[in-house]
Structure 1
């Protein structure tokens, strides 16, 4: 026991000496990471465009092969996955890392730069972002500056941090105490529909002792963060119908039913004034005991600061505080449309009104069951529910008609907070950064990890690396340079610190 403790202390001390926040070696590797990320971001990666994905896979294969990885392109029912592994040693435990290299589509007109796929370096001067020359990084690295471009933070940045950590480990002659496998997703931003079947197909190749996901931001406090689960997701699209074509509101405004009012009344019936879903059975199975409440309250959130940052007066009362609210499935309006608005508004009775809903899931809730509850609730209010555009006969026969289109289900997952691999990750990060680690039971977002957990029967942990204000999925996505240093340090510690 004493020997193992001394060994662990030695490893942590070595990491700290080699990769102190201001060390020359770390800053040099950060600079190399920025250059490599610049090249990677330059490759468009919209998952809706298969050619984009092919180009990124070629880049990845070259980069991982150059670091001594054996690589494979794993074909799926959709776009291929990318797999890489270092030579295996059966005596060592195996870490499987999951990241993704696809990105959200871009609307360049909404960005503060001409081309979101051309990395730009920015400094903040009196609250305004100002473009800087990359040559400025040759003399010193300012950790407060940021890199702007699509997928800098979600999720190309962490991939390049990983690659550069491998370079440092080799340069320092470190013998890894783990086997290392990497699986990179090409359709994460569009729900990773082929992933469950692919994990079954390639089960033997993906076998590992535990899974580490490097996606998403660290906690708003900036402290090292470990997340033990994430919510799943499914979607519903609801369309209400009025006249077959838009009609003049003066002629038919008091006569033809308005689908906007029909739909808005239906939506208002889904929740009470406190924001809680009142569809019977929606929250069934959720039990938060005293130990769970203690874990949730240990997260250093400040609900007042969250409200101030998001600029609203009062939070919904699904949970008593932010972390508690994430333990329940949600029912969210993500888009709502009918007729025309703004300068294009017209004096018409619209022909239809559509709402797009997302339902975030927790392990206790089944996505297909929740969708059925919603549809049953709609029927109970007198609606005729169809999954196709209604015919003339259906429109004339039924007073209230709604078309429902269902999306696929990505399941939630959650690992027990007492898991020994989780304890190892937490202790390693705590010792490396000399800070208490924020431990989050389940995060609000969705990463398609349940297929790995269910098929491989292994625990999974999110170790996020990027800044919380990174604008992921939005215009002006960015990565704080200091988070590159953090990511390299975190990867270095996780890859080089043996299990106690």
Structure 2
């Protein structure tokens, strides 16, 4: 008899589990509603350089969140406001989760898109020859191919996660489910500008933003397409170096071999910063960075196929900063992201150029201080015989000092990292296991940067990123897209997280 009772209890528990997860199966109606919502928000231009367009996006978000039982407030900053949405259902005694969503997108150049307007979403199917061909939206009324993609600016970065979140809320309400914690959502409309007013906005609105956990719905899955959690991100600091030659470009026949060429001098200066294996030679650049055996195991558990990665990106050998890709992004980088001197291509001229400019980005890690790295870089430049200025030198300065360089910089935001076994991490890992039956890929940090450190440092809140979009989404580039299967699965992922007790 006891065995029968135990069996009935086990069956009952199993059925309860099935019933609890049953709402998180997307019906055809759910899919079509989600795509309709997505197309609507994608159709609103969202380049933060155009405040009038951003205002339309903000009003759309206010209406969309109010409709889903949120109370919205614009938080003043020194620029475009942040939008805070507080969920109106209060859970007494339960923790508060703050969710970060990005609304703005990168600028577009329609000439490089495979469609007339990057803000008119297009449904596309890949042909046998690899080309993406536009198909009618009415095809969604029939069987949906999970490999179809929607092409438009911000499909993946990052209106995709916004639409996923809103549709997840609709599913939760439709199935009369409870969100077992207090929730608020902060929306950033200047992320692609480097979120210049976010830090000040967080400080001014510290109490309104106070939370126990911070979740960022942003970014691509691991290249294997496996469910992924990312526990940190590198910070970013940018530097501009300008070296000077003659006051005006000079005829290379008359003055070549006589007037020093700033492009050559800049090339030598940049070459002095790294060795032949890509390691930064600036003294002390990697100090305070240690990777112990436990950390190595965490990094090794990420299922990277580095041979495939090299083939896909198109290079022969990686830099030797570390033993593998995951270890390499645990260190601060020094990257030349662009150079300019004279003219090239159809506009090339026989001149000695007057200036040479290098744009550099430094990706910082949690252990590295941006100001400290900048000071190390200044010291290195001084050691190469240069005098550093903060503005363009006068003609008098140029004729008395042969080695002048202007150095300007901007610290956009710092790195952050949360422990994998933190309460936030364990909660999200439970949710992923509930949905997928397995642990997600857990990345200690991402190589890229997101403006989350103001929340972490000001509010003292642990933060974890939940990526949902396909890795090959052309983020920041022409022909940005999202794969339908990833869009639909992102809705299920968010719905599962929002109903998982902390």
Report if aligned partners of 1:11, 1:496 keep a CA contact under 8 Å in 2: no
Judge conservation of contact 2:105–2:192 (CA < 8 Å) in 1: yes
Q: How does 1:27-426 map to 2 (within 5 A)?
A: 27-87=28-88, 88-126=90-128, 127-426=130-429
Which digits, 9 at most, give the CA deviation of each residue in 1:402-451, with x for residues without a partner? 11111133100000111022111012112202233100001011111111
User: RMSD between aligned alpha carbons?
Assistant: 1.7
* Paired position in structure 1 for 2:3: none
| Contact 2:24-2:496 at 8 Å conserved across structures | no
Compute the displacement of 1:8 (Å): 9.4
Residue of structure 2 equivalent to 1:432: 435
Displacement of 1:341: 0.8
Deviation, structure 1 residue 478: 0.5
CA deviations 1:305-352 (Å, max 9, x no partner) are 110101110000011100000000000011111111112111111111
| Equivalent residues, number | 492
* Cα distance in structure 1, aligned partners of 2:277 and 2:443: 25
Equivalent pair of 2:427/2:500 in contact (CA under 8 Å): no
How far apart are 1:357 and its partner, in Å? 0.3
The alignment partner of 1:39 has SS state of: helix
Q: Distance in 2 between matches of 1:137 and 1:90?
A: 43
Taking the aligned partners of 2:96 and 2:439, their CA distance within structure 1 comes to 26
TM-score (norm 1): 0.96
Classify 1:319/1:182 alpha carbon distance in 2 versus 1 (closer, same or farther; 3 Å). Answer: same
CA displacement at 1:7 relative to structure 2: 11
SS at match of 2:412: coil
Runs (4+) of structure 1 exceeding 6 A deviation are 5-11
TM score, norm. by length of structure 2: 0.95
Change (3 A) 1:10 1:373: farther
Structure 1: distance between partners of 2:501 and 2:96: 11
Cα gap change, 1:14 to 1:201, in 2 (>3 Å): farther
For structure 2, list consecutive stretches of 5 or more residues without a partner in the other structure: 1-5
Q: Secondary structure at the match of 1:154?
A: coil
Q: Secondary structure at the match of 1:235?
A: strand
Structure 1: tracts of 5 or more residues without a match: none
Q: Is the 8 A contact 1:30 1:484 kept in 2?
A: no
Matched, 1:13 2:13: no
